């Protein structure tokens, strides 16, 4: 039996996903002693099973789609010859290229003690990982989340994929059934239909139901045009069949048959191994209970990212890490906010949101709200590239944006300007003062500010009167 080791670092980070890695690297480089635990893959879900592989597969699918739709640009369209296995190798290449940045070796070079094992609380201050007991000054739980597998009768009798297994596949699905019409389900639906698969999405409520319905409709229309079958209000009630011949029945009597099944119905926090009760850490249905500073009911322990039960995005985990670093390393009170957090769905067209949606803003601000809209069809770059589908919607209260919604090309890139504006409480006048290079899609954001000021300047009798008086007096 190996001898138990004991470590007493300043900080213990449990989980080497996005939030945990930001936490560990930042803390150690600013002088703290850090132990990092990871029982699965360095880089967590984002690198290995989520953001990186999904966007790589989307890129392959986009290349296939462009080959089949190049005729409007004066280039003959061709039927793409899709090698699904090669597309998945592109995915693997993307992961492997980024992997060294998240590797154990890199973090050990930074000075982090990395232990490749799961951690379990054995007291309110101690965590055991393998043959090591760690008693740190502070602990940050960053264990993330895993795909939720719903208790659908018959599911255990057929093979199925989640995002954790999908990218290991090399045989192209003939007909992919996807249960779940959220961002993951819709992104993978479009990617697979573009790669030559038949795709059916089975959603128990409304597809993309968490998004502004006006924006979501643009995306869903495009997916349907490309051949994705989207069944809404279709709650899966029973699953049967066998490998290559799977059937999903719904509560309203519908039946959907396909060759493969992908579950994309949400996430669950990774807390089962932690023995949180031992440490006096309370949980909710969504994850670990925290206050606005991300501190748990154990004052020495913080939780960040998906496991904290809030917004489940990689960039939120990184943001949480930066909030907690201030508190732990410098003793500076720091609270996490959500009002300035953007998110994007990487379908084509993309959909992005920051701050309040139109419905939320109307409920919160009533008559003080102004909504301004700019269509992609009026943007010269969008016209040149035939990407005129989509629009920007900006919600403004007393001259400051409180929310922005974008559906269209590069929406995920463009939402950053509005995230900056909302985070720093900028005025529309400051956004109007920006000069965007011509011709770019970014001019749509500039036009959004222009839409706010145009009626105030061009339809204002007082402005015209002042201009008239000035013109008479100017020499």
- Residues annotated within a binding site: 55, 119, 143-145, 180-187, 203, 266, 306
Give the residue numbers of the binding site for NAD(+): 180-187, 203, 266
Q: 277: which DSSP letter?
A: G
d(CA 128, CA 132) in angstroms, rounded, equals: 6
Give, in order, the Cα–Cα distances in Å from 319 to each of 22, 56, 195, 227, 445. Answer: 9, 24, 35, 38, 24
User: Structure tokens of 206?
Assistant: 């409304």
d(CA 187, CA 52) in angstroms, rounded, equals: 13
d(CA 315, CA 341) in angstroms, rounded, equals: 8
Residue corresponding to tokens 């602990």? 139
d(CA 468, CA 405) in angstroms, rounded, equals: 38
Give, in order, the Cα–Cα distances in Å from 248 to each of 97, 148, 200, 252, 301. Answer: 38, 17, 11, 12, 43
Burial of 112 (0-12, 13-18, 19+ CB in 10 A): buried
- Cβ–Cβ < 8 Å for 103, 42: yes
Concatenated DSSP letters of 384-428: HTT----EEEEEEETTEEEEEEEEETTHHHHHHHHHHHHHTT--H
Give, in order, the Cα–Cα distances in Å from 416 to each of 210, 305, 342, 351, 423. Answer: 20, 20, 8, 13, 10
Give the residue numbers of the binding site for FAD: 55, 119, 143-145, 306
User: Structure tokens of 129?
Assistant: 């990982």
- Cβ–Cβ < 8 Å for 208, 351: yes
d(CA 199, CA 190) in angstroms, rounded, equals: 8
User: Structure tokens of 236?
Assistant: 């899966």
User: Structure tokens of 301?
Assistant: 């322990």
d(CA 21, CA 407) in angstroms, rounded, equals: 32
Where do the H-state alpha helices sit in 272-396?
314-330, 358-365, 380-384
């Amino acid at each position: 039996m190996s001898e138990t080791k004991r470590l007493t670092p300043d900080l213990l980070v449990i989980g080497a996903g996005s939030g945990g890695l930001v936490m560990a690297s930042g803390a150690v480089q600013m002088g703290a002693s850090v132990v990092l635990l990871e029982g699965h893959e360095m880089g967590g879900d984002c690198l290995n099973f989520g953001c990186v592989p999904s966007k790589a597969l989307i890129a392959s699918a986009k290349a296939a789609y462009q080959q089949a739709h190049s005729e409007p640009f004066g280039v003959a369209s061709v039927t793409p010859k899709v090698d699904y296995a090669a597309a998945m190798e592109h995915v693997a290449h993307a992961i492997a290229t980024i992997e060294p940045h998240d590797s154990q070796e890199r973090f050990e070079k930074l000075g982090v003690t990395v232990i490749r094992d799961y951690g379990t609380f054995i007291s309110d201050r101690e965590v055991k990982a393998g043959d090591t007991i760690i008693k740190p000054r502070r602990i940050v739980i960053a264990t993330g989340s895993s795909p939720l597998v719903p208790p659908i009768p018959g599911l255990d009798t057929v093979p199925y994929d989640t995002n954790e297994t999908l990218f290991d596949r090399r045989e192209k699905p003939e007909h992919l059934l996807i249960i779940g019409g959220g961002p993951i389900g819709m992104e993978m639906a479009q990617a697979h239909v573009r790669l030559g698969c038949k795709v059916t999405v089975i959603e128990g409520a409304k597809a993309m139901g968490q998004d502004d319905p006006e924006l979501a409709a643009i995306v869903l229309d495009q997916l349907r045009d490309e051949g994705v079958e989207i069944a809404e209000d279709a709650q899966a009630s029973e699953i049967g069949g066998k490998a290559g011949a799977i059937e999903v029945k719904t509560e309203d009597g519908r039946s959907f048959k396909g060759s493969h099944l992908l579950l994309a119905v949400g996430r669950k926090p990774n807390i089962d191994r932690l023995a949180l009760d031992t440490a006096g850490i309370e949980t909710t249905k969504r994850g670990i209970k925290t206050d606005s500073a991300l501190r748990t009911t154990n004052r020495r322990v913080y939780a960040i990212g998906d496991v904290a039960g809030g917004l489940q995005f990689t960039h939120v985990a990184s943001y949480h890490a930066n909030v907690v670093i201030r508190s732990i390393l410098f003793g500076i009170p720091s609270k996490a906010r959500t009002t300035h957090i953007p998110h994007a769905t990487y379908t084509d067209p993309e959909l992005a949101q920051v701050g309040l949606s139109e419905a939320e803003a109307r409920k919160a601000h009533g008559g003080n709200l102004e909504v301004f809209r700019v269509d992609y069809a009026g943007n010269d770059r969008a016209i040149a590239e035939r990407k005129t589908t989509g629009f920007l919607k900006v919600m403004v209260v007393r001259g400051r944006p409180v929310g922005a919604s974008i559906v269209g090309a590069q929406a995920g890139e463009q939402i950053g300007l509005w995230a900056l504006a909302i985070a720093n409480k900028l005025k529309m006048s400051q956004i109007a003062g920006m000069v965007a290079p011509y011709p770019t899609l970014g001019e749509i954001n500039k036009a959004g500010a222009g839409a706010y000021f145009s009626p105030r300047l061009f339809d204002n009798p007082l402005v015209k009167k002042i201009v008239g008086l000035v013109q008479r007096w100017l020499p």
